[in-house]
Amino acid sequence: MSVLAAEHNAINLGQGFPDFTMDGDLIALVNNAMQKGHNQYLHMNGLMALRETLSEKMHYLYNATINPETEITITPGGTYAIFTALTTVLHPGDEVIVFEPAYDSYIPTIEINGAIPVRIPLQFPHYSIDWELVKQKISAQTKMIMLNTPHNPTGSVLSAHDIEQLRSIVHNTNIFILCDEVYEHLIFDGLQHQSMLRYPDLLQRSFVCFSFGKTYHCTGWKLGYCVAPTALMQEFRKIHQFNCFSCNSPAQFAVAEYLHHREKYLQLGAVMQKKRDYFAGLMQQTKFKALPSYGSYFQLYSYENISDETEKELAIRLTKEYGVASIPVSVFYKDGTENKVLRFCFAKKESTLEEAVGRLMKV
């Protein structure tokens, strides 16, 4: 869709990246790190100062005690962390519970490891988890449950009820958890992020994946990290050491210092909620109907009152004829499930959103 958007000079509300500038202070810190000569390999597990600061942050936010030496590994992005965590534990024939719509790397990574994705649909239109169905799908082959909160592409979030249901299912089992929490700070409406880091009993069986790119609006830096208990992280690093070895050094020095400014990440939810609300207000002038979004860069919109086209057909037509690119949510289902919804990214400048909605009003 981004290629199509460029071809037709469309406003790209499809791919999830901001079009506004990131904080100049963080850019300056990277430049300073380069000037100081921090341009060579760092330890494969990541800069210790960065891991120590992350450990402090996780204790501050989630009251979690995380050993920076043995339980945190810096990675080239969140998707890499997810790939490595899955590759660490999966063997041919293992089953992994995946909730759809799902971020598009999950199922291919499961399958490339010879494992079997057990796909469970989130309940439309609120995209909640049907835990009774999860219980039915658990088998002797279930190796892992994958979670994503805040959720891409829907903007749904896990609740305290979800955590209790998850606890009851994995209790007295050997089932692992992989939780994709790259949007941890982009959560709205006063809700609390239900991180696996809050729950020691869940954390002991979890790989928890994060992204600095999503937090600090620098997606092109491709820098993230994974948190896991020592025994799991030892195995994670056996894959990591031969796949990446070392991540961007100047960026690690910069983020290690920048993380001390807590207000930078504490204010992110309010900033992005303001963009969500501004976009939603504009979209009320169109025939599209908003579905709830409680986090992430994204909001889904129903077009049931507009067209009988498939999601892909309409997304392509909007790009070509109206100059606005979106993402058909059907592509996040392996079987192409259709609910007549498109995903729009609102992590854009107000002028971008205004121009986009001006075009969508003509649909």
Question: How distant, in Å, are the alpha carbons of 44, 111, 296 from that of 350?
Answer: 40, 40, 17
Task: Examine the fold and report which residue of 208, 228, 261 is the final residue of a domain before the chain moves on.
Answer: 261
Residues 142-195: tens digit of each pLDDT: 999 999 999 999 999 999 999 999 999 999 999 999 999 999 999 999 999 999
What distance in Å separates the CA atoms of residue 196 and residue 201, rounded to the nearest whole number?
A: 9
Amino acid at 167: R
Same domain, 250 and 274: no
Same domain, 132 and 49: yes
Task: Examine the fold and report which residue of 226, 261, 296 is the final residue of a domain before the chain moves on.
Answer: 261
Same domain, 195 and 316: no
pLDDT, average across residues 302-328: 97
Q: Does 102 have pLDDT greater than 90? A: yes
Which CATH number is 323's domain given?
A: 3.90.1150.10
Classify 151 as helix, strand or coil.
Answer: coil
pLDDT at 212: 97
Q: Return the closest-CA partner of residue 214 out of 321, 287, 296, 135.
A: 296
Question: How distant, in Å, are the alpha carbons of 22, 83, 203 from that of 44?
Answer: 27, 17, 23
Residues 103-145: tens digit of each pLDDT: 999 999 999 999 999 999 999 999 999 999 999 999 999 999 9
- Rounded to the nearest integer, the mean pLDDT of the chain is 97
CB 263 within 8 A of CB 269: no
Same domain, 118 and 34: yes
How many structural domains compose the chain? 2
- Residues facing residue 289 across a β-bridge: 302
Same domain, 233 and 311: no
pLDDT at 15: 86
Same domain, 154 and 273: no
- Residue listed under structure tokens 């290629």: 3
Same domain, 278 and 340: yes
Terminal CA-CA length for the chain? 19
Same domain, 225 and 303: no
pLDDT at 209: 98
pLDDT at 245: 87
Residues 196-255: tens digit of each pLDDT: 999 999 999 999 999 999 999 999 999 999 999 999 999 999 999 999 989 999 999 999
Residues 46-57: tens digit of each pLDDT: 999 999 999 999
Please report which confidence band the pLDDT of residue 305 belongs to, taking 50, 70 and 90 as the band edges: very high
Same domain, 143 and 63: yes
Residues 210-224: tens digit of each pLDDT: 999 999 999 999 999
Question: How distant, in Å, are the alpha carbons of 12, 352, 358 from that of 349?
Answer: 12, 5, 14
Supply the DSSP symbol for 128: B
CB atoms under 10 Å from CB of 132, counted, come to: 9
Task: Examine the fold and report which residue of 233, 261, 289 is the final residue of a domain before the chain moves on.
Answer: 261
Residues 14-52: tens digit of each pLDDT: 988 899 999 999 999 999 999 999 999 999 999 999 999
Same domain, 154 and 217: yes
Please report which confidence band the pLDDT of residue 2 belongs to, taking 50, 70 and 90 as the band edges: confident
- 90 versus 245: the higher-pLDDT residue is 90
Same domain, 189 and 302: no
pLDDT at 324: 97
pLDDT at 50: 98
Amino acid at 48: M
Which CATH number is 184's domain given?
A: 3.40.640.10
Quote the pTM value. 0.96
Range of the domain at 169: 24-261
CB atoms under 10 Å from CB of 360, counted, come to: 24
Same domain, 60 and 176: yes
pLDDT at 17: 86
Tell whether omega for the bond before 153 is within 30 degrees of 0, i.e. cis: yes
